[in-house]
Amino acid sequence: MFDPTGLTWWIAGGWSIEAFTGVPRQHEDIDVSMWRRDVPALVKALSGRYDVWAAGGGLTPLFDDKLEMPDTADQVWIRRHALAPWRADCVVNRHRDGRWVSRRDPDLEVSLEEVTWERDGIRYLNPEITLSFKAKLHRPKDDQDLAAALPLLDEDARAYLADFLARKEPDHPWRSQV
């Protein structure tokens, strides 16, 4: 769905952890991420085939003549038409001067290449970054992902995750494991 658009996209969430670790688990969805600035181009690329809705603070349909993302929206949802099931849920990422900015840690501003890795032509969010997002929800599947990824993280990735948890989630139970 995304390759023909020519836009930059990457996989986040549980699938990015599974790709990194090789440890399989059940997934409910695939978390696709893209640049927020590319939403108008996505709407145009999918026009006539899919409807795109801004999600966050409610749902807002996006059309060729109405492409503004509400400030509260940090996702777009895609489906074939208004009565069809949702086909994709994409996280849209802000940037500052072309550099990726973390929603969980707005002080983190780096190039996309620094927070992603690539295999077989697919880009994935780095595991330590994915885990920093997963820490907020702290579900059993997030604990599984931490257990699979933690032994494989290099020293810098572990240090990033430990620092993030200390600053943003000081009471999180993962702090004793990192």
In three-state secondary structure terms, 162 is: helix
In this structure, what token pair is assigned to residue 98?
Answer: 């072309």
Please report where in the chains the tokens 């849920």 appear, as a residue: 89
The Cα–Cα gap between 76 and 84 comes to: 15
pLDDT tens per residue across span 129-151: 999 999 999 999 999 999 999 99
Predicted pLDDT of residue 67: 80
Residues 77-110: tens digit of each pLDDT:
999 998 999 988 899 999 999 999 999 998 899 9
Listed ranges 58-62, 84-88, 163-167; the one with the highest mean pLDDT: 163-167
1 vs 126, more confident: 126
CA 78, chain centre distance (Å): 15
What's the pTM value of the predicted model, to 2 decimals?
A: 0.90
Residue 7 has a pLDDT of 94
Is the pLDDT score of 50 beyond 80? yes
Q: Centre a 10 Å sphere on the Cβ of residue 76 and count the other Cβ atoms it contains.
A: 26
More confidently predicted of 65 and 162: 162
pLDDT at 61 over 80: yes
For the chain, give every domain's residue range: 3-126
What topology does CATH give the domain 3-126? Beta Polymerase; domain 2 (3.30.460)
- What mean pLDDT do residues 6-19 have? 96
> Closest Cα partner for 8 from 80, 79, 111?
111
